[in-house]
Amino acid sequence: MMRSIPIRGCLQREAPWEEVFQAQTHPNPISRQTGRIVTTLVSIALAFAVMNDHASSYVLNPYGCHVPDASIEWYAEALTSPYLSATQNADSDWDFSPVYGYFTQTSSKAAAVFIVRDYFYGQSEPPAWLAGSCAQGQAWSGQPVVHYNQSIMDAWNNSQRRSTAVHELGHVYGLAHTGH
């Protein structure tokens, strides 16, 4: 059976794979939820491969943290203009990709799924990273934080900051680097 799935900002696609996957391999509701998560992660990986040069550094991570549902609200905590713009553009990049879920900036820190901040962390720290925790293979516990290191990234152009923001939002979805 074919089912039309609305995709924000795109034409509708016919995607029978989710129903087939769930019906054939997951007869109970808990397994159906797992099927949706796996399907979502596969979709994310494929979309990311088309969207960004960082695709080769990602793998599906069934044991890592992931977002709990389709609405992924983020809060900009004292984020300076270049990093706010990069994150907003990355948000749009993900929203217009054919993946399950969408990012939305919120003005409420309490309502946010994750937080984004920038700071001068020093040259010995990475340019950006996601800090958070979860039980193995579960949704994030608390609010993970995307950190942008101004000590390094201030020298970058807008495109490099945007690409890094797209990469970090991929981690929020649940994608991991290869070798992890």
Map out the domains of the chain with their CATH numbers: 58-177 (3.40.390.10)
pLDDT in tens, 28-65: 444 455 555 555 555 555 444 444 444 444 555 666 78
| Reported pTM | 0.68
Q: Where are the beta strands (DSSP E) in 64-155?
A: 71-76, 102-105, 114-119, 128-133, 141-149
Average pLDDT over residues 14-24: 36
Give the pLDDT of residue 180.
52
135, 19, 139, 9: which is closest to 72 by C-alpha? 139
pLDDT tens for each residue of 68-100 = 788 899 999 999 999 999 999 999 999 888 877
**Quick check: 126 pLDDT over 80?**
yes
Average pLDDT over residues 156-178: 90
How many C-beta atoms lie closer than 10 Å to residue 173's C-beta? 25
Instruction: Assess contact for 147 and 121: CB atoms under 8 A.
Output: yes
As a whole number of angstroms, the distance between CA 98 and CA 106 comes to: 22
Distance CA 71, CA 15 (A): 21
Q: Which of 132, 114, 128, 124 is nearest to 82 (CA)?
A: 128
Look over the chain and give the mean of its residue pLDDT values, rounded to a whole number.
Answer: 75
- How does residue 2 score in pLDDT terms, banded at 50, 70 and 90? very low
The answer on pLDDT for 152 being more than 70 is yes
Q: Is 55 exposed, middle or buried (0-12, 13-18, 19+ CB in 10 A)?
A: middle
How buried is 53 (Cβ within 10 angstroms: 0-12 exposed, 13-18 middle, 19+ buried)? Answer: exposed
* 3-state SS class at 137: coil
26 compared with 142, residue with greater pLDDT: 142
Q: Are strands 102-105 and 58-60 parallel, antiparallel or unpaired?
A: unpaired
- The span from the CA of 104 to the CA of 110, in Å, is 14
Strand partners, 145: 115, 131
Mean pLDDT of the region 131-154: 92
Report the pLDDT value the prediction gives residue 20, as an integer from 0 to 100: 32
Q: Looking at residue 77, what is its pLDDT?
A: 97
pLDDT score recorded for residue 24: 39
